[in-house]
């Protein structure tokens, strides 16, 4: 296990336990989420060493890596994903000045395939070998391993996307620096993360599936996401809700609680969360659209 001695956002050495959470998805191990005393950023601490993190993804039920279509949860996930990919395409078209796109953490590549079929120049990055091979061999995409980002490729991108990826990245500061170097001056980055201040997070507490420890190393809120973007020279220009996430996360959370009528409970919870979130644009998951700040040093 590795313990961080400073907050990844502000560098403050003082933090306290925010919540103790189990890995309900796979191992049943217990992990602590801490909160920085200075900036309130929350992160899993201690956490598995980078060399050990891979084993926490080794499950046929980790849908984004396996692209499995078996089981009711997978069926729900696959159908929601089809709808959300089309929505993401329309959103990105609204901002894009060109048609080059890099998707970091592209998994099996369904998102990039949608763009490629519409004439975009696509490239993906995926650390999981099984998912990367599916992208290459089945979806016929140009997908690199994570080391490719370290070489700082010369070709800049119009769009960079990370869909529920940043919370998994061991070194978020380095990753945001890499993104800045990969983005054109008039380009946009789209980052989707679970929102640890959402109504469904408050309702499910330690059983909230959005924590997903230890795969999720960081637990963003709207405030702390804007804070770390600013730190790395990005200006957040729009915050967009992912309203379907409240239903899917509630469904997983109910599964962890092992309660009866979990489908009905999850549906009610999803509606309740979205209604409450509407008041402050504080939904279960949020998309942050950002561009480079001018004259940033």
Which stretch of DSSP H or E encloses residue 20?
strand 15-22
Please, are residues 288 and 229 in contact by the beta-carbon 8 Å criterion?
A: yes
Q: Could you tell me the CATH number of the domain that includes residue 190? A: 3.40.50.150
Largest CA distance in the chain: 56
Pairing of the two strands 143-144 and 121-125: parallel
Segment-wise mean pLDDT, segments of 10 residues, the chain, 297 residues: 95 97 96 97 95 86 53 63 89 96 96 96 94 93 92 86 97 95 96 98 98 98 97 97 94 93 94 96 98 86
| In-domain check, residue 119 | yes
Residue 239 backbone dihedrals phi, psi, to 5 degrees = -125, 120
Residue pointed to by tokens 């690199």 = 144
| In-domain check, residue 210 | yes
Non-local CB neighbours of 270 within 8 Å, separated by 6+ positions: 200, 246, 247, 250, 251, 284
The predicted pLDDT at position 74 comes to 62
DSSP-assigned beta bridge partners for residue 160: 102, 189
The predicted pLDDT at position 71 comes to 56
The predicted pLDDT at position 65 comes to 46
| In-domain check, residue 1 | no
| Number of structural domains the chain divides into | 1
| In-domain check, residue 78 | yes
Tokens matching residue 101: 């796109």
| In-domain check, residue 5 | no
Residue 132: give the domain boundaries: 15-292
| In-domain check, residue 39 | yes
| In-domain check, residue 6 | no
Going by the DSSP 8-state scheme, the letter that residue 121 receives in this structure is: E
| In-domain check, residue 74 | yes
Whole-prediction pTM value?
0.92
Which stretch of DSSP H or E encloses residue 186?
strand 183-194
Tokens matching residue 116: 């490629």
The predicted pLDDT at position 82 comes to 80
């Amino acid at each position: 296990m590795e313990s961080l001695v400073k907050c990844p956002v502000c560098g403050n050495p003082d933090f306290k336990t925010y919540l103790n959470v189990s890995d309900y998805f796979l191992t049943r191990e217990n992990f602590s989420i801490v909160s920085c005393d200075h900036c309130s950023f929350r992160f899993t601490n201690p956490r598995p060493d980078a060399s050990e993190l891979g084993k926490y993804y080794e499950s046929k039920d980790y849908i984004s890596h396996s692209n499995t279509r078996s089981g009711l949860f997978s069926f729900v996930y696959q159908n929601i994903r089809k709808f959300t990919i089309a929505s993401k395409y329309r959103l990105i078209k609204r901002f894009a000045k060109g048609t080059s796109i890099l998707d970091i953490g592209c998994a099996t590549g369904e998102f990039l395939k949608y763009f490629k079929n519409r004439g975009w120049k696509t490239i993906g990055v995926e650390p999981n070998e099984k998912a990367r091979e599916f992208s290459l061999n089945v979806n016929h995409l140009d997908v690199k391993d994570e080391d490719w980002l370290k070489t700082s490729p010369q070709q800049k991108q119009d769009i960079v996307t990370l869909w529920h990826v940043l919370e998994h990245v061991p070194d978020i500061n380095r990753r945001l620096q890499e993104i800045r170097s990969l983005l054109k001056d008039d380009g946009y980055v789209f980052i989707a993360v679970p929102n640890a201040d959402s109504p469904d997070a408050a309702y499910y507490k330690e059983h909230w599936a959005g924590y997903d420890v230890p795969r999720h190393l960081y637990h963003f809120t709207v405030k702390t996401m804007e804070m770390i973007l600013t730190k790395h020279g990005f200006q957040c220009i729009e915050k967009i809700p992912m309203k379907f996430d409240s239903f899917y996360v509630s469904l997983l959370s109910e599964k962890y609680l092992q309660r009866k009528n979990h489908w009905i409970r999850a549906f009610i919870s999803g509606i309740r969360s979205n209604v409450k979130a509407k008041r402050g644009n504080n939904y279960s998951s949020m998309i942050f659209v950002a561009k480079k700040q001018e004259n940033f040093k």
